[in-house]
Chain A
């Protein structure tokens, strides 16, 4: 990573300083250090995942995998027999990876699709329609961002329990699927800045709001919608607390919760470090892939999303 960053282009216009001085080199060194601190742990996780547990202790600081093996990954994917796992120094603890992966995908996709779509509808009403009390209602919605999630989690858990939806996917997605305050806020900003002219021309042609929303507003907001979907999906993929409360049984348990269970299954004496790190890496993979594909979009949205 450090080699690539040193090639980072510098706009010619800001090149006021001398091409090289010690201060600048020092600045680069510090930045490189920060990048290393951010990235190297992931390489270390990969190195561990490719090692056998038995050899980790004896070669605890060599940079290369200790006794290279794909065993840990096979273990995570359920392709290794418990006997082989123990032979490689694993604890024999298993993780039902495919099931948790499926659950994570369902949970994150449904909540993202619902929250983005319904929030877009609401944002349209807040940005493009005029109605009495609009600003007051919007302030109320925004206000919910101040309520700490733990505070609503307790009563929400009771509600889901009263509805008999504990350990169902429906119970897990309900609190997120209708909207998130942040999504409404995020999209409203974009809708406010869209030109009204096309919309009004369409209206003169007799188009109704539904058509305007679907055929003009949504297509024109494709970029912010995609960014929001990306951010929401990553956030939901990483969600732990609510799925832990509501989805504690295998058939709805998501990866983040499964990872915690996998960790606590291994006895304190000899944890299956390779297996745990392989599982960690595979759980992070979807986000890593999204980041590789849409990194620029994500990075550039940070200045904005910080208002969250």
Chain B
């Protein structure tokens, strides 16, 4: 993020400064700009702007695809407020998000510090990034096999160490943590690389100063590393939370919402209401709520963690 803002400001300076032969730009480039931007503009309007408004509109209707949408005002929202399955999906998603934030951020921070201290090689970073490059479906299937109750290798190990086997996907208490663990496995290295990039951007001389002042490693971490890392950490939190709220693929491939409702996360619930029960109005209304939650989360994180500035700026 810090590098980004640097680019941005230098860019502003550059484009704001008069070009040596300013006459060339006397009339502006509006016409030619419109030409260059036209394809992207079509995609932007058709698949982002219009659907955003249409989604909001649909949330106030009852619509099963066959007929026309029928305006019902706030009925969908009123129904959602009393919908136990919705609140359950919210709670389940919250649990998933929470495990992800804590585990992913802690592990990634540790890994980034380790990389910074002992191994900056591309090979190490590449190995850690490998899971991230796989699809959610592949990550899900791979762990679905390794965590199998009967013959999965993880349960073999658990049994060898004298513990009872765990029904990772089959028990209500383990289903969501298991989904979160799979996601953590997939994203851990990627998140670590983001933080690692942030660590690399911290000027070396600050560490030397801290060293001269006789600061302990822990003090250095708390007074130098953490404050300067904060923009990156906020970014990581925003990306993790927003991404985790939209968990779908792994659930769809492995547990499909079960056992009972243990993994019926919000996005899976939307999918079911809209596509399996053809209730597009209701599905859209939940999607609007999800949208609002995500916007709020991003706002709060940016505002209170002051993501754009580090303490030493």
Contact = CB atoms under 8 A, between A and B. Distances in A.
B11 to A, nearest CB: 4
Contacts of A57: 150-151
A79 interface: no
7 contacts: A8-B121, A34-B189, A41-B143, A44-B146, A125-B37, A134-B33, A298-B133
Interface centre among B137, B193, B252 (most CB of A within 10 A): B137
Given A34-B128, A192-B11, A303-B194, A5 B123 contact: yes
B36 A122 contact: yes
Nearest to B111: A34
Nearest to A307: B4
Interface stretch (A69-77, A91-99, A218-226, A272-280): A272-280
Contacts of A189: 4, 7
By Cβ-Cβ distance, the 6 closest A-B pairs, closest first, are A178-B43, A303-B197, A238-B135, A122-B40, A155-B51, A8-B121
Interface of A: 1, 4-5, 8-11, 24, 27-28, 30-31, 34-35, 37-39, 41-42, 44-45, 48, 56-57, 60-61, 118-119, 121-122, 124-127, 129-132, 134, 137, 140-141, 144, 146-152, 154-159, 161, 174-175, 177-179, 181, 184, 189, 192-193, 196, 200, 203-204, 209, 213, 234, 237-241, 244-245, 256, 259-260, 263, 273, 276-277, 280, 283-284, 287, 291, 295-296, 298-300, 302-303, 306-308
Interface string B207-246: 0000000000000000000000000100110010010011
Given A155-B52, A280-B142, A302-B193, 14 more contacts: A8-B123, A31-B119, A39-B130, A41-B131, A126-B37, A129-B36, A131-B33, A146-B295, A154-B274, A193-B10, A240-B137, A259-B138, A284-B134, A284-B135
Interface centre among A11, A42, A152, A156 (most CB of B within 10 A): A152
Contacts of B138: 238, 256, 259, 280, 283-284
Interface stretch (B14-22, B74-82, B88-96): B14-22
Contacts of B143: 41
Contact of A287 (B134, B253, B284): B134
A291 B142 contact: no
A303 to B, nearest CB: 3
Contacts of A263: 141, 144, 253
B44 A4 contact: no
A118 B19 contact: no
Interface of B: 1, 3-4, 7, 10-11, 14-15, 19-21, 24-25, 28-30, 32-34, 36-37, 39-44, 46-52, 54-55, 58, 65, 107, 110-111, 114-115, 117-131, 133-138, 141-146, 148, 150-153, 156-157, 160, 185, 188-190, 193-194, 196-197, 200, 232, 235-236, 239, 242, 245-246, 248-249, 252-253, 267, 270-271, 274-275, 280, 283-284, 287-288, 290-291, 294-295, 298
A27 B117 contact: yes
Nearest to B193: A302
